[in-house]
Amino acid sequence: MQSAAGVTALAITGSTAGCLEQVPLVGESSVPDTVPEDGDAVVYADVTTIIADEGVRSLTNAYLDQQSEFEYYDGPEDFEDVLSEFEDETDFEASQITEATTFFGYDDSEAVDEEYAGLRLEIDLSVEDFIDGLEDSEDSEYDEEEYGGQTVYVSEDEETWVGILSVDGTVVAGTEDAVKDTIDVANGDGDSMDEELSSAYSGSRSSPFRFAARVPSTGDDELLPAETEQPTGDGQETYDLSVFDDIQTVAGAVYRDGSLRGMAVDFSADDADTAEDLAELLGDLQSDWTDALEDAETDEQAAGDAAAILGEVTVEQNGATVTVGLEKEVDELEGLIEEYAGP
């Protein structure tokens, strides 16, 4: 699972840098129909488009160049080295994974459930070569079994399952329940992502990198706190985050629009009044954080750059949806990496 997810991590790292083509895709539109209903969060990456994007390469190279300045760093030197390391570990090329969809559930405390997670891959290589690559990289044998009329492979420790959804290149790797549920969905014997989360995903901006998730409830023992304290010009201000209890989903995309790279995140509320409350809260947080950064007396340049970026974030309400967005020129992103990613 770790090795199979490696190229997904690469795709996500590059895509969050914002260097993606705005192109029509097939895979991204079918995601809600392939993810089981117990999935509370999903991340889709068109790996082929992301790897081919020159912006991803240039920003990755800028970041790795800065990391190499640290004495302790012993990793890849550039984007090509990242791809080469993946190939060395798995015996197949990263480009042979064309699409990746990661999904996972929440546990009773609404934290990420380690017992329910899957990674669905579209691969441009034989199933046999894929399994051989996993065995080589993990130094573990996979036993062949059957579930739902499909071939499945199970690791020696039984922690990782791999289901073969089609012999022409669709597999799912992950925990037992996640893999079995995905096979059930493919066979028409299980329910896919429910309408609420599906609508959130489908409503996000079309892009090679998209995501959607349910918003966990707030509380002392929950993933989201009930309140937070933020600096203001007069000291500390306490903000009530309980409005998120009435926000059902969050979804978004990283995209490219001409020379701009951007991210747009949609919060779907119960109603327009709740959305208005959320927009007001986010606006207050943005304003107070910007003021605090501008007034910072230490590391003034870094604080000033952070304040400038935060000030460019847009918060817009449209009915029951609040959209938070940010766009930057790629050369600006490179400049920030060169300034702050190194020693």
pLDDT one-digit tens code per residue, 55-91: 888 889 999 999 999 989 999 999 999 999 988 888 8
What pLDDT shows up at residue 55? 83
315: left (phi over 0), alpha (psi -120 to 50) or beta: beta
Who has greater pLDDT, 17 or 285?
A: 285
Q: Which domain holds residue 236?
A: 205-329
Q: Is the alpha carbon torsion for 119, 255, 48, 336 positive or negative?
A: negative
- Is 150 domain-assigned? no
User: pLDDT band for position 8 (50/70/90)?
Assistant: very low
pLDDT in the model for residue 146: 96
What is the mean predicted confidence (pLDDT) over 103-123? Answer: 90
Count of domains for the chain: 1
pLDDT at site 113? 87
State the pLDDT at residue 65: 93
What pLDDT score does 316 carry?
97
Q: Is residue 297 part of a domain?
A: yes
pLDDT in tens, 291-316: 888 887 777 888 888 889 999 999 99
Residue 228 lies in a domain: yes
Residue 238 in any domain: the answer is yes
pLDDT band at 4 (very low <50, low <70, confident <90, very high): very low
Whether pLDDT at 192 is above 60: yes
pLDDT bin (cut points 50, 70, 90) of residue 2 is very low
Residue 242 has pLDDT above 50, yes or no: yes
pLDDT tier for residue 216 given thresholds of 50, 70 and 90: confident
The pLDDT confidence band at residue 224, using thresholds 50, 70 and 90, is confident
Tell the burial category of 222 from Cβ atoms under 10 Å away from its Cβ (0-12, 13-18, 19+). middle
The burial class, CB within 10 Å (0-12 / 13-18 / 19+), for 250 is buried
**Average pLDDT value for residue range 116-143:** 91
CB-CB contact of 280 with 264 (8 Å)? no
Return the beta strands (E) in the chain as ranges.
Answer: 41-45, 97-106, 112-123, 142-147, 150-155, 161-166, 170-174, 209-214, 227-232, 235-240, 247-257, 260-269, 314-318, 321-329
DSSP state for residue 305 in the 8-state scheme: H
pLDDT at 211 over 70: yes
Q: Is residue 178 part of a domain?
A: no
Say if 25 falls within a structural domain: no
Round to whole Å and give the CA distance between 36 and 262: 29
Average pLDDT over residues 13-36: 56
Q: What share of the chain is helix, strand, coil (3-state, %, to 5)?
A: 40, 30, 30
Is it the case that residue 180 has pLDDT exceeding 60? Answer: yes
pLDDT, averaged across the chain: 86
Would you state the pLDDT for residue 234? 64
The answer to whether residue 52 is domain-embedded is no
In contact, 190 and 27? CB cutoff 8 Å: no
Cα 283–chain centre separation: 24
Instruction: Inform me whether the pLDDT recorded for 26 exceeds 70.
Output: no
> Is 247 part of any domain?
yes
> In the numeric block, which tokens belong to residue 271?
């109603």
On the question of pLDDT at 286 being above 50, the answer is yes
pLDDT band at 29 (very low <50, low <70, confident <90, very high): low
With the CA atoms of 192, 173, 254 and 36 taken in that order, what torsion angle do they form, in degrees rounded to the nearest 10? 10
| Least confidently predicted of 78-82, 249-253, 333-337 | 333-337
> Which phi and psi angles does 16 have, rounded to 5°?
-70, -15
pLDDT band at 235 (very low <50, low <70, confident <90, very high): low
